[in-house]
Amino acid sequence: MSSWVLTLFVALNILMFLIAAATYVCRAAHETSRPAE
């Protein structure tokens, strides 16, 4: 496999992880901002 393909694959994995982490943080912040029931 070419090195640029590997780089692209790693970059995509990092991007997916960042998106998932951001979504989780936003969801957690949303949950805590609501009054506990």
Domain regions of the chain by residue span = 1-37
Report how far apart, in Å, the C-alpha atoms of 20 and of each of 2, 4, 5, 7 are.
Answer: 27, 24, 22, 20
At CA 21, angle to CA 15 and CA 26, rounded to 5?
125
Q: What is the mean pLDDT of the chain?
A: 89
The string of pLDDT tens digits covering residues 6-23 is 999 999 999 999 999 999
pLDDT in the model for residue 30: 83
